[in-house]
Amino acid sequence: MKTKYKIFYMFILLCFVTFAITGCTKEYPFPVINTSTDVKNVILIVGDGMGYNHIENAKTYYDMGTLAFEKDYVIGVDTSSKSLFTTDSAAAATALATGYNVKNGKIGMDGNKTLTNIMEIAKDNNKKTGIITTDNLYGATPAAFSSHAKDRDYTNNIIVDQYQSNVDLMIGEKSSKYQEYYQNFTSNGYSIYEDYNSLVSSNTNNKILANISNLRSIYNPNITGQVNLVDIVSFALDYLDNENGFVLMIECGHIDKCSHSKDIVGALSEVHTLIDVANKCYDFAQNRDDTAIIITADHETGGLKKANDKNDIKNSLYSKSSHTSSDVPLYVYNCSFTNVGEKVKNTFIFYIMKHIVTNI
Ligand SMILES: [Zn+2]
């Protein structure tokens, strides 16, 4: 090969490597956050894998009109991570929980650096904290709000961090991985529940770890015996409500999983549950002026197209079985913004929560 071609190819390789290392993230200016100092509670609802068309298709499939939260639409969210490829739930959840853009696979860490998450900031500000997921509690999204791990697969590290996290309430799908740590949770002040009825009828003042079966959507026609997530959220709101305020993160985790397998009815049933949960939180917030609600997604999954009508709801609306880099929507109730630009980076959502939690 001629020297000048060698130099050219070396240059191209160097560009590629630089791009891979530094990532391709563009930063967008943050809007100015305007919130009444009366706002002391934050509820963050995350639809894992939920893009605009997941919501649109759920409205079509279930004959829903305009949703309560749609009037609070703010802007599209850039979900890209520090990795070259489309984000995963770990990097996206870390962006939401810590305000840092990190590489895929990281849980509350940037390289070897441990990042402070919003639940830790909330505890420092004397607020109660809660995490609810329809997936396992060691999954990437709840993990980023309650632990720090160099890799999302370091499940034991994540659970050890969680029993030391001081998060007041953690509710997720039943997993045997937690059982060997029950003693650690108990000695750190947690009451443990494995049964839905004993959880929702509980009036304990202890911290709560609940591993509950059957957290998939009650609207999925292919599975039976599911518990109603709205009742769990209702219990959590009662439990967390206090004069200093609280931060509650609720993840609907199976929109993503159903979308990976191009199961549109399954995915839309999970979106229906998210809408029910959002409506429950709006009922809670609209009776008072101290609660903000943020609804968003970590990323879009499936490249889902919009259906023309109900008959058009088919698995073939999915264009792929992986995550995409499409923007996801951001809806915020009881918090307003000025200087809203083209879109925001997902790290902005952390700063909305931090603004409320630290009251600045
Ligand atoms: Zn996924």
Residues 257-314: tens digit of each pLDDT = 999 999 999 999 999 999 999 999 999 999 899 999 999 999 999 999 999 999 999 9
Partnered with residue 246 across adjacent β-strands are 128
**pLDDT category, 28, cuts 50, 70, 90?**
confident
Closest CA to 215 of 225, 226, 223, 201: 226
Span from the CA of 300 to the centroid of ligand 1 (angstroms): 9
- The single residue listed with the structure tokens 């703010």 is 74
Question: Across the chain, what does the average pLDDT equal?
Answer: 93
For the whole model, what pTM was predicted? 0.92
> According to the model, what pLDDT value does residue 36 have?
84
Residues measured by CB to lie within 5 Å of ligand 1, the ion: 256
**pLDDT category, 238, cuts 50, 70, 90?**
very high
**pLDDT value at 11 more than 70:** no
Span from the CA of 46 to the centroid of ligand 1 (angstroms): 13
* Chain segment 210-219, per-residue pLDDT in tens: 999 999 999 9
**Rounded Cα–Cα distance for residues 160 and 185 (Å):** 9
Nearest-5° Cα angle at 33, 27 to 39: 135
Span from the CA of 170 to the centroid of ligand 1 (angstroms): 21
Span from the CA of 285 to the centroid of ligand 1 (angstroms): 30
Span from the CA of 323 to the centroid of ligand 1 (angstroms): 6
Please, are residues 214 and 226 in contact by the beta-carbon 8 Å criterion? yes
* Chain segment 301-338, per-residue pLDDT in tens: 999 999 999 999 999 999 999 999 999 999 999 999 99
> According to the model, what pLDDT value does residue 360 have?
62
Span from the CA of 153 to the centroid of ligand 1 (angstroms): 14
Chain Cα centroid distance, residue 115: 17
So where are the chain's domains?
28-358
Residue 330, sorted as left (phi over 0), alpha (psi -120 to 50) or beta, turns out to be beta
**Rounded Cα–Cα distance for residues 43 and 291 (Å):** 8
Alpha-helical segments (H) within the chain: 3-22, 52-61, 89-98, 118-124, 140-144, 155-163, 182-187, 196-200, 229-240, 254-260, 264-286, 347-358
Span from the CA of 268 to the centroid of ligand 1 (angstroms): 15
**Rounded Cα–Cα distance for residues 155 and 327 (Å):** 29
345: tokens are 């980076």
Span from the CA of 259 to the centroid of ligand 1 (angstroms): 8
Of 5-14, 18-27, 247-256, 315-324, the least confident: 18-27
CATH class of 28-358: alpha beta
